[in-house]
Amino acid sequence: MAQLKKIFAEAGGSEIAEAALVIPIFFMLMLGIYWFGRAFNTYATINHAAREGARVAVAQTCAACGNAQPSLTTIGNQVAASLKASSLDPSQATNAGEPATRAACGGGTTSCTTPTGVGEPQICVYYNVQLKPPLIILPQNSGGPACGVSVQFQYPYQFAFPYTSLNMQKIMLNAGVQMRGEY
């Protein structure tokens, strides 16, 4: 007991003052790691949802049905299901503000189409689009640019990082996936 009194008497409160300065900084650092990790998780989730939507869009239907393109509702439902699986609200997905038209395969342009159902994510789907070369590496003598589908949208993320300029700051995370058609 006497040793304990001696330790506290010699400290003079300097450790308490140092802890009072370091502990808030430590907790702010931990909160920052948490919220930026959560933002990265949301970004990965929305890219996964866009990839699932593009996968559905390029998949062939039955040969007896004429291999028709899947409907926008089917693509939107797949994106919504992927977002719901990670507890994200599909109704917050909005059009990414992409250009209304893009270069189509075989010349011309293709337009952005969006599902029109209530509660469906507002995604932008381009059919028969010419894929950008850096994303798809073409084999030698392949005969031209790759054709496929592009699915794009934005999803809001809001930080809750008190006592900083990021508190309640909303950023828009972009998801965009291109996938070559399965023909």
Mean pLDDT of 39-43: 94
Q: How far apart are CA 18 and CA 81, in angstroms?
A: 50
Q: What element of type H or E holds 43? A: helix 14-58
Across the range 114-125, mean pLDDT stands at 75
Return d(Cα 65, Cα 63) in angstroms, integer: 5
Q: Quote the pTM value.
A: 0.76
**CB-based contacts of 52: which residues, under 8 Å, 6+ apart?**
78, 79, 81, 82
Choose between 59 and 156: higher pLDDT.
Answer: 156
User: Which pair of tokens denotes residue 132?
Assistant: 């950008």
Residue range 89-100: mean pLDDT, rounded: 81
Label residue 169 by pLDDT band (50, 70, 90).
Answer: confident
Query: Helix 14-58 crosses helix 2-11 at what angle (to 10 degrees)?
Result: 80
Residue type, 163: Y
Q: What percent of the chain has pLDDT over 90?
A: 21
Distance CA 152, CA 124 (A): 5
Instruction: Assign 50 a pLDDT band (cuts: 50, 70, 90).
Output: very high
